[in-house]
Amino acid sequence: MDTRIRIFDTTLRDGEQSPGAALTAEAKLEIARQLALLQVDVIEAGFPISSPGDFLAVKSIAESVRGPIIAGLARTKDADIDRAYEAVKGASKPRIHTFVATSDIHMRHKMRVTPSDVLAMTEAGVRRARSYVDDVEFSAEDATRSDPGFLCQVFQVAIEAGATTLNIPDTVGYTTPAEFQRLIHHIRDRVPGIGGVTLSVHCHNDLGLAVANSLAAVEAGVRQVECTVNGLGERAGNTALEEIVMALMTRKDHYACSTGVVTEQLHRTSRMVSALSGMPVQPNKAIVGANAFAHESGIHQDGVLKERTTYEIMSPQSIGLSSNRLVLGKLSGRHAFRERLHELGLTLDNQALERAFVRFKDLADRKGELGDSDLEAIVQEEIQGVPEVYRLDYFAVTSGSTAVPTATVALTSSNGRVQEAATGDGPVDAVYRAIERVVNSGAALSDWSIRAVSGGQDALGEVTLRLTHGRHTYLGRGVSTDILEASARAYLSAVNRLAQAPAIKTPSQSG
């Protein structure tokens, strides 16, 4: 049996359905480029019919990202499939991924259709997709809560209509490893022609079992695993890409399978997705959490110093965690800056590159030297692609244990320069109140966090926040050596998004 496991990344589709995750078209393209460097097999770039923005993002990824297959999601409706094809047709390896729900609960309550309707929808959807492309994936949504006999019937119809990959989603994260294996064996034993297609799984993490269920599926003969970077996704998320890849690599002795992923790109990919989506990675997260390779207890430290493998089953280098190399300083010029970004696989258009260079010079003046993670943080600020409706000219804050925190800010917009002052509960609050006096957005701060980009006292601070306005949430990120400036920049980047878009995120239509 084939021992190569295909990695199907759905960060840009299911991952983007994470509550609070918001990716601009520029951010999606940058993540797709990084996924190509990671060498995943398939990038599910979006759900083209769901919004014009999603359509354009899939189209631009299909036209410019080479290497992986580029997939677009579609229900079985003609309009969905036509739109998905329009979006992916520019790819060198296009795939249409069509799906319909097969569980009684979904058929009866969500779609209000009969099982024979679902058989007809499957047949029509897959056939239409096959009339456009040779590579068609079919998913039976809520497969793990479907009647196994009916599921086999649906899969048989999908194969006869031309599907080349059959996906078994655990849409609500309900199944368990042993039960999932029994279902997969049942399907493999009973569906005629199943040996000629790639069998895939797509697990959600509602019970914290997504990775375990996906690995169990691999043992049961599945050869494609759908996953997301950092486990992003609807509700509790999806199978985490980095965990499945490193489990297959580290326990090759057990699974006897491999992926094509360049594991040394995992850490950078995780950081990029976290920064651009505004979804922090918990420190104790497996593989990519800040503590994943930290040894705290004296006994462990002693053991690792004597022999790394005493307490480490993977090396930090295997996921691309190297020490933060000090590469550029305040005397470095544009050429060195551009070269280093190129080496890091970071691409910016000329204007964004110029803005990033100005930021770099400003921060290098204050901090002296900047490491790779500092450069990545600066560039990710630019990649967000939000036009600067308001720009921070300067701010000043007075604060202390007895003083009333007071901030003055000056912002420039097309209306010129406006200065305002305000007091607040603390210095950050005072800055935000002063900004609000200028921009008058009416939005409420719903989330605020800060992290140090690299180690040390002079580390850059990165602030991530969300502003809520009506039903919509706007992500903001700001980086600086000064945490108040980072806070102000983050607030303004969210305000600039709000000023640009009626809605950053369209309501999701599938899980």
Q: Which does 141 bind (CB under 5 to 8 A by kind): ligand KIV, Zn ion, none?
A: ligand KIV
In the complex, minimum distance from the CB of residue 95 to ligand KIV, in angstroms, rounded to a whole number: 13
| Shortest distance, position 322 Cβ to ligand KIV, whole Å | 35
Shortest CB 81 distance to ligand KIV, Å = 14
State the Cα–Cα distance between residues 331 and 339, nearest whole angstrom.
15
Which residue, 11 or 198, has its beta carbon nearer to Zn ion? 11
Instruction: Compare residues 230 and 373 and give the one whose CB is closer to ligand KIV.
Output: 230
Decide: 452 and 475 in contact? Cβ < 8 Å. no
Partner from ligand KIV, Zn ion, none contacting 173, C-beta within 5 to 8 A by type: none
Closest separation in Å from C-beta 170 to ligand KIV:
8
Q: Which does 175 bind (CB under 5 to 8 A by kind): Zn ion, ligand KIV, none?
A: none
For residue 177, the partner it binds in Zn ion, ligand KIV, none, with Cβ less than 5 to 8 A by kind, is none
Residues engaged in binding ligand KIV (CB under 6 A): 14, 99, 139, 141, 167, 169, 171, 202, 204, 510-511
Cα gap 483→476, rounded to integer Å? 14
Helices 25-38, 372-383: axis angle to 10 degrees equals 140
CA-based torsion, 169, 174, 177, 181: positive or negative = negative
State phi, psi for 141 to the nearest 5 degrees. -60, 140
Identity of the residue, 13 or 127, whose beta carbon is nearer to ligand KIV in the bound complex? 13
Token pair 């420039």 in the structure block, residue? 412
What is d(CA 160, CA 157) in angstroms, rounded to the nearest whole number? 5
Query: Is the Cα torsion angle 228, 261, 278, 412 positive or negative in sign?
Result: negative
DSSP string, 371-415: EHHHHHHHHHHHHT----SSEEEEEEEE--SSSPPEEEEEEEETT
* Residue 511 lies near Zn ion (rule: CB under 5 A): yes
**Distance from C-alpha of 164 to C-alpha of 268, rounded to nearest angstrom:** 32
CB under 5 to 8 A by kind: which of Zn ion, ligand KIV, none does 83 bind? none
Q: For residues 380 and 336, give the distance between their C-alpha atoms in angstroms, rounded to a whole number.
A: 18
Partner whose binding site includes residue 99, from Zn ion, ligand KIV, none (CB under 5 to 8 Å by kind): ligand KIV
Q: Which is nearer to ligand KIV, 500 or 510 (CB)?
A: 510
60 binds, among ligand KIV, Zn ion, none (CB under 5 to 8 A by kind): none
Q: Does residue number 206 form part of the binding site for Zn ion (CB under 5 A)? A: no
Segment near Zn ion (CB under 5 A), from 11-19, 56-64, 89-97, 384-392? 11-19
Distance in Å, CB of 167 to ligand KIV, minimum: 6
Which residues in 468-487 contact Zn ion (CB under 5 A)?
none
> Which CB, 177 or 511, lies closer to Zn ion?
511
> Least distance (Å) from Zn ion to the CB of residue 39?
23
Query: CA-to-CA distance for 389 and 306, rounded, in angstroms?
Result: 56
Number of residues that bind Zn ion (CB under 5 A): 2
> Within 136-235, where are the H helices?
148-161, 177-190, 210-219
Strand pairing report for 406-413 and 416-423: antiparallel
Question: Least distance to Zn ion from the beta carbon of 449, Å?
Answer: 26
Position closest to ligand KIV via CB: 169
Q: Where would I find the H helices in 39-147? A: 52-64, 78-88, 104-105, 115-132
Residue among 14 and 16 whose Cβ is closer to Zn ion: 14
**How far apart (Å, rounded) are the C-alpha atoms in residues 9 and 273?**
12
Contact 50, 79 (CB under 8 A): no
Q: Shortest Cβ distance from residue 140 to ligand KIV (Å)?
A: 8
Characterize 417-428 residue by residue with b for buried, 16 or more Cβ atoms within 10 angstroms of its Cβ, and e for exposed: eeebebebeebb
145 binds Zn ion (CB under 5 A): no
The type of residue at 248 is: L
Query: What x-and-dash track marks residues 280-319 binding Zn ion by CB under 5 A?
Result: ----------------------------------------
- The tokens for 502 are 């009626």
How many CB atoms within 10 Å of residue 469?
17
Min dist. Cβ of residue 173 to ligand KIV (A): 9
Distance CA 63, CA 91 (A): 5
List helix spans (H) across 251-343.
Answer: 252-255, 266-277, 298-306, 334-343
Stretch that binds Zn ion, among 9-17, 187-195, 388-396, 436-444 (CB under 5 A): 9-17
3-state SS class at 146:
coil
Nearest distance in Å: CB 14, ligand KIV: 5
Work out how close the CB of 329 gets to ligand KIV at its nearest, in angstroms, rounded to a whole number: 47
Residues 328 to 347 in contact with Zn ion, rule: CB under 5 A:
none
Residue in this structure with the two tokens 């950081």, named with its chain if needed: 271
Q: Report the residue number, 169 or 476, with the smaller CB distance to ligand KIV.
A: 169
The two tokens of residue 221 are 């003969």
Quick check: 376 binds Zn ion (CB under 5 A)? no
Asked whether position 226 contacts Zn ion by CB under 5 A, the answer is: no
Nearest approach in angstroms of CB 231 to Zn ion is 12
Q: Rule CB under 5 A: choose which of 5, 6, 14, 239 binds Zn ion.
A: 14
Give the residue with the Cβ less far from ligand KIV, 103 or 454.
Answer: 103
In the complex, which residues of this chain contact Zn ion (CB under 5 A)? Answer: 14, 511
